[in-house]
Amino acid sequence: MIEVEHLTKRYGDTVAVEDISFRVERGEILGFLGPNGAGKTTTMRILTGYLPATAGTVRVAGFDVAEQSLEARRRIGYLPEQPPLYPEMTVTGYLDFVARIKGVPAAERRSRVDAAIAMTHLGEYRHELIKRLSRGYRQRVGLAQALVHDPEVVILDEPTVGLDPKQIIEVRHLIKKLRGSHTVILSTHILPEVSMTCDRVIIINKGRIAAVDTPANLTAQLRGGNLVWLELRGDRNGLEQTLRQIAGVRKVSVETLPDGGRMRVAVETEPGSDLRSRIVAAVVGRGWELYELRAVSLTLEEIFLRLTTEETEDTTRASEARA
């Protein structure tokens, strides 16, 4: 659904984003995790066609955002970090305007606006002026704006920043409801947020991708385990079994890569152990082709240290209660 290839953005001599490539599949929720100033907003602005890239290509639903910008924009809903609201409009009036400029046909406009209002639980405030709404409700109007034309791709820049714990939970709940029907990219600098909402996480730091993984694996790393990455070709079922037999292996997760049966394997091991040579021996011993092996570098941990890993206690508790 989204294909980003060798994307680079420079402002003069400053490099904001350097050689980023990734894909997002239809219906997936992808999290952009990284400290402030890592290049998250810049990447999202290029994806939405707000900024031109210095180099590289971005395709959304098959349309190049630079060459076929309007076609791509029609398929994207975007919530910038600062919700783009007109305070003197009513909620309905504003969403009606957004539906118009997004090209929603007149016959569907009314029902699309109603649907967006229902999804974001704004029914009570639909005739209220936006300037009279609290911060949390304004954020909801921002979300409704990104959903009103029922876009295939939804891009949310720090959707929960500045909200109180209860509002944060509501927003996350809403994002989770988009899974499957919409392709979502959201950015955050809060680690627990991605584990609660995302299927996959890209960690971005200083304009580069530091890691791509599932939230579960990232959390495991934080708990102190080590991670060894493998890329190989072999028999999937046998693979997990073989690796688990090595003493010190905690968990094995396998992901099949799209090109010709290669697999990417994350092996989580006990803290303080280095099992790399034994893993190689096991793989080669079975006659499988090994393409890559690396232990996750220290820099990732450094990035984690700069992320916000803690949430206020009541948010966590409320999230658990809700789950």
Amino acid 121 reads H
Q: How many residues does the chain have?
A: 323
The crossing angle, in degrees rounded to 10, of helices 91-101 and 135-147 is: 30
Does 238 sit near other proteins (CB under 8 A)?
no
Query: According to CB under 8 A, which one of 3, 19, 97, 248 is a site residue for other proteins?
Result: 97
Give the integer Cα–Cα distance in Å for 239 and 252: 9
Cα–Cα distance measured from residue 108 to residue 228, given in angstroms and rounded to the nearest whole number: 51
Binding flag, residue 98, other proteins (CB under 8 A): yes
CA distance 137 to 125: 9
When asked if residue 291 is in the footprint of other proteins (CB under 8 A), the reply is no
Q: Rounded to the nearest whole angstrom, what is the least distance from the CB of residue 192 to other proteins in the complex?
A: 28
Cβ closest to other proteins, residue 97 vs residue 229: 97
CB of 9 to other proteins, least distance (A): 11
Rule CB under 8 A: choose which of 37, 62, 103, 162 binds other proteins. Answer: 103
**Of these, 85, 282, 293, 318, which contacts other proteins (CB under 8 A)?**
85
**Closer by beta carbon to other proteins, 73 or else 172:** 73
Three-state DSSP class for 20?
strand
Cβ neighbors of 199 (< 8 A, separation 6 or more) are: 28, 29, 30, 179, 214, 215
102 binds other proteins (CB under 8 A): yes
266 binds other proteins (CB under 8 A): no
Of 1, 31, 43, 48, which one interacts with other proteins (CB under 8 A)? 48
Segment contacting other proteins by CB under 8 A, of 87-95, 205-213, 258-266, 287-295:
87-95
Shortest Å, Cβ 252 to other proteins: 42
Q: Which is nearer to other proteins, 51 or 184 (CB)?
A: 51
CA atoms within 13 A on the CB side of 15: 11
DSSP of 242-276:
HHHTSTTEEEEEEEE-TTTTEEEEEEEE-TT---H
Distance CA 162, CA 140 (A): 12
Q: Using the rule CB under 8 A, which residue among 88, 108, 292, 314 binds other proteins?
A: 88
> Rule CB under 8 A: which residues touch other proteins?
11-12, 14, 45, 48-52, 70-71, 73-74, 76, 78, 80, 82, 84-86, 88-89, 93, 97-98, 100-103, 145
